[in-house]
Amino acid sequence: MIRKVSDLLPTEGESSMLWQMRSLWMFLRARYVDPMISEEGSVVETVIITAVFAALAIGIGAIIVAKVTSKANSINLN
């Protein structure tokens, strides 16, 4: 976690590559790891996202069934 601005600056004798890796690690940790610790409201978000994906799946399934049925009905069996 970044505690002060000087944490973002390279220290004396630190190589550029090491500083970049440390900066990248701090960014990724702040972006992805720290938010996982606090899961307030995650149940509501999960339910909403699941409902949206379910609705999309039903809609896509309906489109596929309609196209297959239309194609099947257009086949001449005589």
**pLDDT tens-digit profile of 1-47?**
556 656 666 666 667 777 778 778 877 777 777 666 666 667 777 88
Q: Do 32 and 65 fall into the same domain?
A: no
Q: Do 70 and 58 fall into the same domain?
A: yes
Q: Do 45 and 68 fall into the same domain?
A: yes
The pLDDT assigned to 18 comes to: 78
CA distances from 40 to 13, 44, 49, 50 (A): 41, 9, 16, 17
Token output for 76? 């001449």
Q: Do 26 and 50 fall into the same domain?
A: no
**Residue range of the domain that includes 54:** 40-78
Q: Is the pTM of this model over 0.85?
A: no
The pLDDT assigned to 8 comes to: 60
Q: Do 12 and 46 fall into the same domain?
A: no
Q: Do 33 and 48 fall into the same domain?
A: no
Tens digits of residue pLDDT in 48-64: 889 999 999 999 999 99
Q: Do 33 and 63 fall into the same domain?
A: no
SS3 state at 64: helix
Q: Do 33 and 21 fall into the same domain?
A: yes
The pLDDT assigned to 3 comes to: 61
